Amino acid sequence: MHSEDEILRASAAWAWFPRGSEQDDAHLQLVRYPERFGGGVRASQVRSSADAASVVDHAIERSREWGATRLTFWTNPSDGPDLEDEFIRRGAVHEDTVTVFARPIPGDPIDVPADAQTEIVRTLDQVRDVDLVNVPVWEQHPLDEAGLREELAEVVAALDAGDGGRVLARLDGRPVSTGGCTVAGGFVRLWGAATLPEYRGRGAYRAVLAERLRVGADLGATTALVKGRVSTSAPILARAGFTQYGDERSYVLAV
């Protein structure tokens, strides 16, 4: 398993660039999200010689240039300079907190209920089923036919390249939970987990978790890295053998 310092660096370097997004990495990592994911700009990975106020000014200006009205900043202990106090001073509102977790893989097995079936997503029908879970959980716009095919192409390309994949879980034959994984630098990053509210507490999330760990191990990863929401997945991850390595907080600023 990787060291604590390696885990924290890998967590800090983790950013998502959705299909159709734009980015700017001067001073910090800025990503303009497409409307399908709620729009707005996400900021993280601060690495600048400028002072905090100047970095925040840059983030606001770039967000306005993109036509965004919402800037979300995620903290990380490796940020330089630290922007948290500056965002708060300007009226940013704390929105969410995630805990950074890691564990060795394969490691101890995860208890998965017998009635939860997992699948590696490889077909268009499976992508449609993933969308049936993601849309209500993440409050996204549903993918049209072209978007579904683009999503499938991305998923299959990642599988073919050995970069990771997406898992779908069913209960009673219905798609109820999903999550993705990406292998990078010996880590398997676990992301995008979602479970329909009416099926929570029945082990579907654990089934998706266990299958993603298996995929990561098969692709050569030795450490699993995940950011779990304090209010939802964090307690499950702690029971599944993950160790906590600090928190990251998000703040939302109207720009």
Burial class (CB in 10 A: 0-12, 13-18, 19+), 198: exposed
Q: Contact at 8 Å (CB) between 159 and 121?
A: no
pLDDT at 234: 87
Q: Do 226 and 237 form a contact (C-beta atoms < 8 A)? A: yes
CB 133 within 8 A of CB 178: yes
Whole-angstrom Cα distance, residue 166 to residue 11? 20
The DSSP bridge partners found for residue 125 are none
- The pLDDT tens digits for 184-238 are 999 999 999 999 999 999 999 999 999 999 999 999 999 999 999 887 888 899 9
Q: What is the pLDDT of residue 229?
A: 87
Instruction: Please list the alpha-helical segments (H only) found in the chain.
Output: 4-12, 52-65, 84-89, 124-138, 145-161, 204-218, 234-239
Which pLDDT does position 91 carry in this prediction? 97
Residue-level pLDDT, tens digit, the chain, 255 residues: 899 999 998 998 898 899 899 999 999 999 999 998 889 999 999 999 999 999 999 999 999 999 999 999 999 988 999 999 999 999 999 999 999 999 999 888 999 999 999 999 999 999 999 999 999 999 899 999 999 999 999 999 999 999 999 999 999 999 999 999 999 999 999 999 999 999 999 999 999 999 999 999 999 999 999 999 887 888 899 999 999 999 999 999 999
Three-state DSSP class for residue 144: coil
- 3-state SS, 15-33, equals CCCCCCCEEECCCCEEEEC
The three-state secondary structure class of 6 is: helix
The pLDDT of residue 232 is: 80
Backbone angles phi, psi at 136, to 5 degrees: -70, -35
Q: Which residues of 216-253 are buried (b: 16+ CB within 10 A; e: fewer)?
A: bbebebebbbbbbeeeebbebbeebbbeebeebbbbbb
User: What's the longest Cα–Cα distance across the chain?
Assistant: 55
Cα(16)–Cα(25) distance, rounded to whole angstroms? 13
Domains for the chain: give ranges and CATH numbers. 4-98+250-254 (no CATH), 106-221 (3.40.630.30)
Predicted local confidence at residue 97, as pLDDT: 92
- Among 9, 5, 10, CA closest to 187: 10
What three-state secondary structure class fits 141?
coil
